[in-house]
């Protein structure tokens, strides 16, 4: 057992609703606070001097200088296991080339598939761990990681095994997701429904057998999988016992409705979601995940997070870090920019990167500073927590704690 502190401000994010809009006066801020940790878990939070007086013999981990502490962040949507780089796609897009022109000149998702298939396991593992460390340094300690650049049995399993192996080398929590339904690969001889059937019969049973993931994702879009075939696929994956998440409404509306209908844990992207579907999402337990990194990477509009929150949806914010549409990877910068364009309160942004994102991953043991929760925290050297978003990512995390231990 130890007492960590003192902190100028402890931003607990406790006692906030899971869904809907938040005002900043709902935030609980403990001045001159401390946190008692034991066995990876928060035991008590309160005034540092009082906690010290109550436990005169407690070990103290002293915090130097003025710092604020928040729950560590959760990135609930990433594609950070990949080979190669798509800087040329980015440059071509900015030079006005179309999706088709980029694909024809060797870019797009298919190029990342080829680079990922050709990469050695060691190279994929090392670059994945580098990206994980980048995220940890931002204060993110729970990271979802998708497959989806293998697109056949051998290479999808290769990706998921590497993600599993990365878990042995990092203290962050990795949440693997099988995204074999990212795109029908060019070398698959058959239709979309046949490829989805191949995933169901050839890939998912092995994923289950080796316990590589218990979540399945699909990209529903004109250029990827169509609504009806996707719905059938999702219901079958659910039948196999997987949790579901969906890449929905990125360019074309309609698929968030399917995500809700099949009981997906989250519908992510939603840049093109229409008003009726915003209400449909808001009345469900499917988390609406905004991915501002993809809007910034593609020059597309932002997810209507303001409308979603006003309608009562559970809104999370994630990085979508991937080599194509979202190469930045800095969730704090992205969330802060989303806030200025969508007019989100600080409370809404912090909730979207913590307990609301954790809910999308079925991890309700974290994302809030309160007794009983996992002791994952991030501190910043400042006397005002508002500076975290105000500095748009340039105020670096000072310390990151996982299970109560500074890393
Ligand atoms: O979430 N939309 C589909 N999938 C990714 C992009 C992947 C890629 O371009 O490599 C996304 O934006
Ligand atoms: Fe994505």
pLDDT of residue 104: 86
pLDDT of residue 247: 98
Which atom of ligand 1 is nearest to 269's Cα?
1
pTM of the model: 0.98
Q: Which ligand minimizes its atom distance to the CA of 78? A: 2
Q: Which residues line ligand 1 (CB under 6 A)?
A: 79, 109, 112, 219, 247, 250, 294, 320, 322-326
Among the residues of 210-330, which ranges form H helices?
A: 227-239, 255-261, 275-282, 292-298, 305-311
Q: Is the pLDDT of residue 196 over 90?
A: yes
Question: Please, which pLDDT band fits residue 103 given cuts at 50, 70 and 90?
Answer: confident
Per-residue H/E/C for 31-73: EEEEEEEECCEEEEEEEHHHHHHHCCCCEEEECCCCCEEEECE
Site to substitute for ligand 1 among 80, 107, 325, most atoms within 8 A of C-beta:
325
pLDDT digits over 51-79, tens only? 999 999 999 999 999 999 999 999 999 99
Q: Is the pLDDT of residue 402 over 90?
A: yes
* Inter-CA distances, 104 with 89, 97, 222, 261, 264, Å: 11, 11, 18, 36, 34
Distance 182 CA to ligand 1 centre (A): 8
Gyration radius of the chain's alpha carbons: 21
Domains and CATH numbers, the chain: 2-71+367-406 (2.30.40.10), 73-360 (3.20.20.140)
ipTM confidence score = 0.95
Site to substitute for ligand 1 among 75, 78, 79, 328, most atoms within 8 A of C-beta:
79
Which atom of ligand 1 is nearest to 109's Cα?
10
Q: Is the pLDDT of residue 194 over 90?
A: yes
Question: Please, which pLDDT band fits residue 291 given cuts at 50, 70 and 90?
Answer: very high
Q: Which ligand minimizes its atom distance to the CA of 323? A: 1
Percentage of the chain modeled with pLDDT above 70: 100
Give, using CA atoms, the residue closest to atom 8 of ligand 1.
324
pLDDT of residue 29: 98
pLDDT digits over 294-318, tens only? 999 999 999 999 999 999 999 999 9
Characterize the bridge pairing of strands 287-290 and 2-11: unpaired
- CA end-to-end distance (rounded Å), the chain: 18
Nearest partner of 110 among 132, 131, 89, 126, judged by Cα:
89
Q: Is the pLDDT of residue 38 over 90?
A: yes
- Average of pLDDT values for 98-121? 93
Distance 368 CA to ligand 2 centre (A): 25
Q: Is the pLDDT of residue 210 over 90?
A: yes
């Amino acid at each position: 057992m130890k007492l960590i502190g003192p902190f100028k401000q402890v931003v607990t994010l406790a006692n906030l609703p899971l869904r809907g809009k938040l005002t900043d006066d709902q935030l609980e801020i403990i001045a001159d606070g401390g946190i008692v940790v034991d066995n990876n878990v928060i035991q008590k939070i309160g005034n540092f001097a009082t906690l010290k007086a109550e436990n005169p013999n407690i070990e103290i981990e002293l915090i130097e200088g003025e710092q604020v502490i928040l729950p560590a962040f959760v990135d609930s949507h990433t594609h950070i296991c990949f080979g190669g780089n798509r800087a040329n796609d980015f440059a071509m897009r900015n030079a006005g080339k179309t999706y088709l022109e980029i694909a024809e000149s060797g870019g797009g998702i298919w190029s990342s598939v080829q680079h990922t298939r050709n990469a050695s396991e060691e190279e994929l593992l090392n670059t994945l761990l580098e990206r994980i460390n980048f995220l940890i340094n931002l204060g993110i300690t729970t990271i979802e990681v998708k497959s989806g650049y293998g697109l056949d049995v051998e290479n999808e399993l290769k990706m998921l095994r590497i993600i599993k192996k990365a878990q042995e080398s990092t203290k962050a929590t990795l949440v693997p997701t099988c995204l074999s339904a990212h795109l029908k690969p060019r070398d698959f001889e058959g239709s979309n429904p046949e490829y989805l059937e191949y995933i169901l019969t050839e890939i998912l049973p092995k994923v289950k057998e080796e316990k590589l993931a218990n979540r399945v994702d699909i990209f529903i879009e004109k250029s990827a999988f169509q609504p009806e075939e996707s719905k059938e696929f999702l219901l079958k994956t659910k039948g196999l016992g997987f949790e579901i998440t969906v890449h929905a409404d990125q360019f074309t509306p309609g698929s968030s409705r399917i995500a809700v209908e099949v009981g997906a844990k989250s519908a992510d992207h939603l840049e093109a979601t229409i008003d009726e579907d915003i209400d449909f999402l808001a009345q469900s337990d499917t988390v609406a995940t905004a991915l501002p990194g993809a809007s910034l990477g593609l020059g597309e509009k932002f997810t209507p997070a303001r409308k979603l929150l006003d309608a009562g949806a559970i809104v999370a914010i994630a990085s979508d870090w991937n080599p194509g549409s979202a190469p930045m990877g800095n969730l704090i910068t992205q969330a802060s920019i989303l806030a200025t364009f969508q007019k989100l309160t600080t409370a809404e942004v912090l909730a979207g990167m913590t307990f609301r994102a954790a809910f999308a991953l079925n991890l309700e043991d974290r994302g809030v500073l309160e007794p009983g929760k996992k002791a994952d925290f991030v501190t910043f050297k400042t006397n005002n927590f508002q500076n975290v978003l105000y500095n748009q990512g340039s105020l670096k995390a000072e310390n990151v704690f996982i299970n109560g231990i500074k890393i």
